[in-house]
Amino acid sequence: MSMTAFRKLASCVLLLIFPAAGFAADSGAAMLYTNGAAWLNGSHIPRSSAIFSGDLVQTRSDSVANINAPGSSITVQSDSLVQFEGSSLKVEHGGVMVSTSKGIATTAGDVKVAPASSSWTEFNVTDVDGLVRIAARKGDVTVTDDNGTVTLAQGQETTRDESTDQSDNKKNKKRATGAAPAAGGGILNSPIAMGLGAAAIAGVTTWVLLQNNNPASPSVP
């Protein structure tokens, strides 16, 4: 095989690998750090782990977890169950403290809390026994429920019912430790996937060089 053919083949391999990796980079991945026992999709995790959209984070009464994403920092408070959705959060039980410049919104039942502007905003959302508590710590936030949308100014707090239609089901929201279902996440963005991509390129290169009877750099011009 000539070097020209090799270049074409290697280009095809690169085109197949790197667009997929670029797609995975936009999948909403973040890093999770724990202080005490915590679970990710029902499995106990070490002090840190990658987290992807759709993953469930659960903390114990004596532990907390921190999610660090570009432009955002989220603290999952103790005794909480939270679903990370990349550009938003869903509080199943417990509470979160959100600091963001990326407009990350938080929902608890039928209540949605979101930054009122694109500037750096900090707010707390807790959902315990069907009662949602919201506090705007820095910047204004909007609170949306069945009654419409209102703006909560910096320094103010308010409460909302999680859902008038689902109050009887709230008792089932708090799940047992390890019961959270597994969720898929960003495999193409993992070190294994990138390693396989590099190995594929190296394999193609080695095979072509073995097949090529002409030296890559001939001694005679």
* Per-residue confidence (pLDDT) for residue 29, from 0 to 100: 87
Instruction: Indicate whether 220 belongs to any domain.
Output: no
Instruction: Answer yes or no: do 104 and 65 share one domain.
Output: yes
Name the band, by pLDDT with cuts 50, 70 and 90, for residue 163: confident
Instruction: Answer yes or no: do 195 and 137 share one domain.
Output: no
Instruction: Answer yes or no: do 196 and 122 share one domain.
Output: no
Instruction: Answer yes or no: do 19 and 48 share one domain.
Output: no
Cβ atoms of 78 and 94 within 8 Å: the answer is yes
Q: What is the mean pLDDT of residues 90-114?
A: 97
Q: Give dist(CA 187, CA 219) in Å, integer.
A: 45
Q: Determine if the pTM surpasses 0.85.
A: no
* Per-residue confidence (pLDDT) for residue 211, from 0 to 100: 52
* Per-residue confidence (pLDDT) for residue 199, from 0 to 100: 53
* Per-residue confidence (pLDDT) for residue 34, from 0 to 100: 96
Instruction: Answer yes or no: do 111 and 201 share one domain.
Output: no
* Per-residue confidence (pLDDT) for residue 80, from 0 to 100: 98
* Per-residue confidence (pLDDT) for residue 174, from 0 to 100: 44
Whether the per-residue pLDDT at 107 is higher than 70: the answer is yes
Whether the per-residue pLDDT at 11 is higher than 60: the answer is no
Name the band, by pLDDT with cuts 50, 70 and 90, for residue 164: low
Instruction: Indicate whether 74 belongs to any domain.
Output: yes
Whether the per-residue pLDDT at 118 is higher than 60: the answer is yes
* Per-residue confidence (pLDDT) for residue 159, from 0 to 100: 97
Whether the per-residue pLDDT at 5 is higher than 80: the answer is no
* b/e code 36-74 from CB counts within 10 Å (16+ = b): eebbbbbeebeeebebbbbbbbbbeeebbbbbebeebeb
Whether the per-residue pLDDT at 43 is higher than 90: the answer is yes
Q: What is the mean pLDDT of residues 102-117?
A: 96
Instruction: Answer yes or no: do 76 and 17 share one domain.
Output: no
Q: List the domain range (segments joined by +) for residue 99.
A: 30-172
Instruction: Answer yes or no: do 42 and 84 share one domain.
Output: yes
Instruction: Answer yes or no: do 132 and 193 share one domain.
Output: no
Q: What is the mean pLDDT of residues 33-39?
A: 95
With left for phi above 0 and alpha for psi between -120 and 50, is residue 70 left, alpha or beta? Answer: beta
Q: What is the mean pLDDT of residues 182-196?
A: 45
* Per-residue confidence (pLDDT) for residue 213, from 0 to 100: 47
* Per-residue confidence (pLDDT) for residue 88, from 0 to 100: 95
Name the band, by pLDDT with cuts 50, 70 and 90, for residue 15: very low
